[in-house]
Amino acid sequence: MPSFLKDLRDLRRRSKGSSKTHETNGSSGNTSSNDGGSDDQPPPNKSSSTLNSFFDHQSPPTTLSSQKSRSSGHLPGLSNGNKTPPAIERPRLPSSQSQRYSLAGSGSQSGDIPRQTPATSPLAPRVVSVSDGSWVHQKVLLIYGEAADLQRPIDGNLNVVHHGDNFPQTQWPVCDSHWKALVYLQPGPNRLRLDFSSPKLSSHNGQMQVHSSWININFLPLISSPPLQLCILVAKDSPETFDAVPDRIQKEGNGLNTAIRKFRMAAYLWQAFTAEQMNRNGFGRRCYRYEEEWQPGSLSWKDMAAGQMRNEAKIHVIKLDKTVQEVRDLDIAQQHGPAKKKGDLFGIASNAVRAYFAPRPGQPQYVSCMFLDAHWDKKEGTVRGHAALGGGDDTIKLAIFGSHCLQSYPSHIEEVVPSFTDCTRTDTNYVANDCNEGGSNWESANIGIGAHLHETGHLLGCPHQESGVMLRDYTRFNRTFISREPFSTRTKQQGPRLCMPKDECAWHRLDIFRFRFHPCFQLPTDGVINPDSSVHVWTVESGSALVTAATGIAWIEMYPEGDDVCHHWIEYVDQTAGPAGTPRQITLNEKDLRERLPEGKRKRKLKLKIFSCGGGDHEVTDFAQLTLKIGKTKLPDGGPGFRSSKLGLSQMDGSHPTEVILGSHQKPPRLLKNIRIYSGNSLDGLEFFYEGGESEVFGKRGGKPGGDDFAMDTRRGEVVVGFYLRAGAWIDGIQVLTSTGRRSEIFGNATGGSGHTLIPPRGYSIAGVYGSVGPWLDGFGLIITR
């Protein structure tokens, strides 16, 4: 044998012996022992410690089923002294699934997961309002659920522990195994631990048991929609205090800083309530947002004590140019007592807010205000310097309210339940609400927070409704946040033993529709909305009418004569697809509409309000008249013509009707060659020129001398298929749309009024135009035919 082969054989023999020696000495922990164990299985004396070290740094395992085979962090078989362990399952990484466990003792004092692997428990809290891993868009989220055994309900406490202790722990009562809680969320993923305990539940050693579960919530703040601004209005000589009884002043103060904290907390309650209502109606937890700023946190009293900085809702403080006495002397017609000027408080607030925010055209501000200097006048029996109003114009959407109930508001999340269960009687020597419906502190909190939310609903476009917040249902506002209601001085009754969803205050379904398509409630995933939000109604054959909307038709409200609020409506909203799933054109038949009404209302005059997904609406004052003679005409060529709904109010001085039938429907027909538009700061008229030199004027020849011409391409058979108009009370501007896809420029005021696209429904074409003219055009509609 060659010498190099002998050397190689000796080297292999020496290497094998060395490896065997190391294995026998146990210095290599990643190889098997000589007892035939698997290479992938750790030795018995290390299996438990290895698994425990994994859980020292990881969340509990994902599923309940995998946990049922484990007890107190040990594997089956090892705790009985077995020398040979069974095969060990590889520990699973945590997922987004909710987990429920039971812990003995007081539980962890931080947001970290317990170091010892806990066992499962059927008594751990269950969240029923939101699924694990959900995405939400507000900082303070309302959650509710169950704990313990519903067959044997018990009372206790629920602790909410935030991951990493990024917010102080909060405690919430559990009543008959039901609970509600407000949780503070940080942007991004939030892992919350819910700990349930009750004196009636104890372990064998006498310690109180803590039953825990985990839930993951993702918070995505929104910055792509306009915010709802929050303002406190202060008179120029104000002492910057609000009404409160001496005990409350001594305990928490009644200065401007306290008012800011209370108003901020009330605003987050509005938001949590509204988001929950949107979700219950099938639209997810979409909600408006607040403008926030980096400031000392006030949503937890522990944050205040520690000086913790947080990003929270900004409360704008606006100084008025009025004195306290001037503000308190102004009253509204709804209130009793002396009043020098009726309704001026809304104007004062509007002017102050307009000067402060300086809104730009097309960028309205949504502002909810509180007058800090409102004051209970015991002698006159009224609240002075307070008005409950909501509304506004195209630049400022405004709600105003007073501070007279502010002392009863919670200042922090920890005070929400105590505030809504505080039965302390109202001391009318110092405080009272405007309707004296709050005989106790918790009822005053309802009136103040709820009535201000009612006015905020008005600024968001909600009218009075048959039920809900917009019909004073806010006297039950507290039930959304508590599980058991105390005695009411208003009803002289004890509240429900359990405040279930059916017992709670609510937004009406029609309010929810308005919110769904409101700019403040839009999400980035909603996509781009057609800027033309208008709705148009077209009379057609057989007593029917066609409705068209470029953004889709959302719903129709029906008002039989005598109904001041809507009791009957038709929904077209697609909850999953949104505007993309709603129809752009529908047919309305009077017989079908009346069959939707109760028997006693079917013969009454019927008014309709039709709403688009873009936020536009159109009112038909009398549907029967629309579908009868008033909407029909006979064309010169003998064909039937149908009038569309009309833009403009036709209310200018000297306004009179005007109409032109296009030459294509004259007898004999004439070819349209040119349209001349007369306009200045508004639309004065149109002149249609035909082959042969004839012309007809719609409106009048005014504005720019000689007008502007838009020639038709007759060689290509180009015809007019519609118009884009800028209109409000009158017609501001117009654009011509043709069959070849051409568009003229917008003649007149291109930014006046709002945009409306008038194109006949499918199967119809333009036969003419009609409307009214005063100093300029103040009415415009189409006459269509098949």
Pairing status of strand 708-711 against strand 695-699? unpaired
Q: What is the rounded average pLDDT for all residues in the chain?
A: 84
Q: Are 301 and 411 in contact (CB under 8 A)?
A: yes
| Residue 759 pLDDT exceeds 90 | yes
| C-alpha span between 178 and 148 (Å, rounded) | 9
Domain ranges of the chain: 94-219, 228-516, 528-627, 641-785
Average pLDDT over residues 383-398: 92
Q: How many CB atoms lie within 10 A of CB 30?
A: 6
pLDDT tops 70 at residue 23? no
- DSSP bridge pairs for 589: 544
The mean pLDDT of 309-324, rounded to a whole number, is 96
662/34: higher pLDDT: 662
Residue 258 confidence (pLDDT): 97
Residue closest to 242 by CA, chosen among 371, 83, 366 = 371
Give pLDDT, residue 208. Answer: 80
- State CA 264 to chain mean position distance: 17
Task: State whether residue 14 is helix, strand or coil.
Answer: helix
Shortest CA distance to 736 belongs to which of 668, 782, 669?
782
More confident call, 662 vs 33: 662
Pairwise CA distance, residues 774 & 758, whole Å: 22
Please give the C-alpha separations between residue 300 and each of 141, 188, 368, 583, in angstroms, as whole numbers.
14, 20, 23, 47
Residue 449 and residue 269 in contact, taking contact as beta carbons nearer than 8 Å? yes
Q: Do domains 94-219 and 528-627 have the same CATH topology?
A: yes
Helices 509-516 and 256-280, axial angle in degrees (round to 10): 100
Higher pLDDT, 356 or 165: 356
In the chain, the amino acid numbered 2 is P
Place 125 in a pLDDT band, splitting at 50, 70 and 90: very high
Category of 272 on φ-ψ map: left (φ > 0), alpha (ψ -120 to 50) or beta: alpha
pLDDT in tens, 325-359: 999 887 543 444 444 454 689 999 999 999 999 99
pLDDT for the residue numbered 343:
61
Q: Give burial (CB, 10 Å; 0-12/13-18/19+) of 716.
A: exposed
pLDDT of residue 434: 62
Chain centroid offset of residue 460 CA: 10
User: How confident is the model at residue 9, as a pLDDT?
Assistant: 52
Instruction: Decide: residue 139, CB within 10 A, 0-12 exposed, 13-18 middle, 19+ buried.
Output: buried
Please compute the mean of the pLDDT values over residues 765-786 and round it to a whole number: 95
Name which of 175-179, 325-329, 340-344, 392-396 the model is least confident about: 340-344
Average pLDDT over residues 718-747: 95
Q: What is the pLDDT of residue 632?
A: 83
Cis peptide before 668 (omega within 30 of 0): yes
Catalytic residue among 455, 504, 557, 687: 455
* pLDDT top residue among 640 and 19: 640
In this structure, which CATH number among 2.60.120.10, 2.100.10.30, 2.60.40.290, 2.60.40.420 belongs to the domain 641-785?
2.100.10.30
- 312: annotated active-site residue: no
**Strand partners of residue 401:** 370
Q: Which of 69-83, 520-534, 654-668 is predicted with the least confidence, judged by mean pLDDT?
A: 69-83
Predicted confidence (pLDDT) per residue in 61-94, tens digit: 333 333 333 333 333 333 333 344 444 444 444 4
Asked if pLDDT for residue 687 goes beyond 80, the answer is yes
Give 483's contacts (C-beta < 8 A, 6+ positions apart): 173, 174, 175, 176, 178, 179, 180, 498, 499
140 in Cβ contact with 271 (< 8 Å): yes
Quick one: which of 582, 451, 443, 580 has its CA closest to 525? 580
* Cα(113)–Cα(119) distance, integer angstroms: 13
Report yes or no: 199 and 315 within 8 Å, Cβ to Cβ: no
Domain at 528-627, CATH from 1.10.3470, 2.60.40, 3.30.70, 3.40.50: 2.60.40
Rounded average pLDDT over 86-104: 42
Tell me: the pLDDT tens digits for 498-512? 999 999 999 999 999
> Which one has a higher pLDDT value, 32 or 402?
402
Percent of residues, the chain, with pLDDT higher than 70: 82
Averaged over 543-569, what is the pLDDT? 94
* 94-219, CATH topology level: Immunoglobulin-like (2.60.40)
Torsion on CA atoms 163, 484, 491, 473, rounded to nearest 10: 40
CA distance 510 to 514: 6
Q: Name the least confident of 231-245, 335-349, 681-695.
A: 335-349
CA R_g for the chain: 35
Q: What is the DSSP letter of 385?
A: T
User: In the predicted model, is pLDDT for residue 636 greater than 60?
Assistant: yes
Query: In this structure, are residues 552 and 521 in contact, taking their beta carbons and an 8 Å threshold?
Result: no
Helices (H) and strands (E) in the chain, counts: 13, 40
Categorize the per-residue pLDDT at 249 as very low, low, confident or very high, splitting at 50, 70 and 90: very high
Read off the pLDDT of each residue in 240-244 and give the average, rounded to a whole number: 96
CA distance 258 to 261: 5
- In this structure, of 110-114, 218-222, 530-534, 742-746, the range with the lowest mean pLDDT score is 110-114
Structure confidence at residue 39 as a pLDDT band (50, 70, 90): very low
Statement: residue 98 has pLDDT above 70? no
Residues 6+ apart with CB under 8 A from 532: 550, 551, 614, 724, 755, 756, 757
